Amino acid sequence: MSKLHVTQIGGYLNAKLTGILDMADYASHSDPAQIQKAFLTRALTALAISNLTEAKLESLAPSVTDGANDGGVDGIYFDPNERTLYLVQTKWHSDGNGSIDLGDTLKFLDGVGKVLNNELAGFNARIRARQGDIQSALYDANAKFVLVVAHTGQQGLAPPVSEALNNFVTSQNDTSEIMSLRVLTQVDLHKAVSAGVAGAPIALEVHLTNWGQIREPHVAFYGQVCAADVARWMTDYGGRLFSSNIRQVLSGSSVNEDIVATLKERPLDFWYLNNGITAIASDVAKKPIGGISTESGIFECSGFSVVNGAQTVGSIHAAFSVAPQQVEKANVALRIISTTASGPTFGTEVTRCTNTQNAIAKRDFVALDPEQERIRQELHFDGIEYAFKAGATSGPGAARFDLTEATLAQACSGDIDMATQAKREIGKLWDDITKPPYKALFNAGINGPDLWQRVRALRAIEKELQLIMKKHAGRDALICVHGNRFIEWAAMKALSIKAGEAFSAPDQTVQQIVDSAASNVIAAVRKNYPDSYPASLFKNLTKCRSLAKAF
């Protein structure tokens, strides 16, 4: 069946993408078989991307970068909803046998490394045309990267190939799961073609335990589902799982990290500590197996879509990739609402209402700290507005600042640990208002006027840093972008604003200090961490401590 499957995949791609993919570079080739193989290789790239995202197959022609000087990178696609950059290598095997060899893999990883360093000059025009997408990811501290290897062979990756790919991914994930690997073989690709790829309704079976049902006024089923099953949904369907949701998985969310931590450390408590998942389905039917017992039931769902709980699903998937045995122990609450008899508008209403409930963020608890109100009152007497409560008038102004600015100013005025945490996840600095790190930033020894001077200094530094960033290109530009808190920390240290002093450094002095700090940071990174991706590097406390010794 292997060759038949490949033939079916090829037939589908020919029907969908003939005349759409750019094949101009093969216009002078006389061998039809060679032209067809090149076409199918490129079409396979579009198929792989479409299978992992919500992008329509026919819309992905510009994302296919295969050709001379592609550096082994056959496709580049940025999903703005998921804030994820997909970097793809494909191989078409007409006979259904084979995989990806080590030479092609190493070439691909070398090309990926150059993309991550924003070094595109040596690539072909197709890759350079994706510069906007590439930089959307590279300049976003919370963006994710997915390496995709797709081939029409039945074989898995050879151990040396798998090792090279996994080692590369691991090297990029020294602070967080910023990069992942997806391998698509003939089975996955044929399944995608059979489903019609992006936009096809999802049909799956859901195993619920301790389940119940509601018949009026709308049909719904509820119960517990094994968290590992939820992780497999994400593996099988990716972004399509949220086709009816108002948002995808939010990369870098502090909520995500908390959910992952709970799954890894307290899987048996997960059901109690998580709000669960809401899904809609065009049709839901219980299979006869299990009879009328409500202890366990298997439900066939058509048109299945998660409309609330995308963060829970994404976090379960992330936890499963690193701690599958723990996730197998966890259950999550799930309710499935059938829209068959309720009409299409009811599903939309469920989506809207379940996503517009007020949520309490960690920063909201800062409002309970009396020191914040004291600081606000001290500044009020000087005509300075300090908005530390959520919903209060905030944002930068001549005589106005908010909690985020205050926290960054304090963090960059302290030790490098605080500045690094502010870069990695500022919300952790507000985790617990009764102990460090929060109490190290805001305590009885911090007065309003001094805090305001630090904010003013940080604003001046940030202004100069924005100008300096434009002077650099390639990896140096990324160091300035992702190393902004480190550079600001070094500049604040050089300014050395004492308690009770007003910030009065002239613009030229600030410019010189920031320029020197940026140049020194770039030089230090080049020397000590030439292969580290800057977005990960400046969230790594050990590496930042090492760099800080020179300042």
pLDDT at residue number 254: 45
- Name, in order, each residue with C-beta under 8 angstroms of 83's C-beta and a sequence gap of 6 or more: 137, 140, 142, 143, 144, 251, 252
Q: 316 with 263: CB under 8 angstroms?
A: yes
Residue 307's nearest CA partner among 340, 341, 252, 355 is 355
Please tell me whether the peptide bond between 370 and the residue prior to it is cis, using omega within 30 degrees of 0. no
Q: 511 with 464: CB under 8 angstroms?
A: yes
- Name, in order, each residue with C-beta under 8 angstroms of 282's C-beta and a sequence gap of 6 or more: 201, 302, 303, 338, 339, 340
pLDDT at residue number 250: 47
- Name, in order, each residue with C-beta under 8 angstroms of 169's C-beta and a sequence gap of 6 or more: 147, 179, 180, 181
pLDDT at residue number 252: 45
pLDDT at residue number 396: 57
What's 193-258 look like in SS3? Answer: HHHCCCCCCCEEEEEEEEEEEECCCCCEEEEEEEHHHHHHHHHHHHHHHHCCCCCCCCCCCHHHHH
Q: Which residues of 232-266 are buried (b: 16+ CB within 10 A; e: fewer)?
A: ebbeebbbbbbbbbeebbbbbbbebbbbbebbeee
pLDDT at residue number 241: 79
Domains of the chain: 2-195 (3.40.91), 203-354 (no CATH), 362-548 (no CATH)
Give the global pTM: 0.76
Residue 342's nearest CA partner among 215, 244, 219, 203 is 219
pLDDT digits (tens, 9 = 90+) for 479-493: 999 999 999 999 999
pLDDT digits (tens, 9 = 90+) for 197-216: 555 678 889 999 999 999 88
What is the token pair recorded at 282? 């065009």
pLDDT at residue number 116: 94
Low-confidence ranges of the chain (pLDDT < 50): 250-254, 358
Measured between its terminal Cα atoms, the distance across the chain in Å is: 64
pLDDT at residue number 20: 93
What is the token pair recorded at 182? 């997806």
* Distance from the Cα of residue 466 to its chain's centroid: 24
Q: Which residues of 29-48 are buried (b: 16+ CB within 10 A; e: fewer)?
A: eeeeeeeeebbbbbbbbbbb
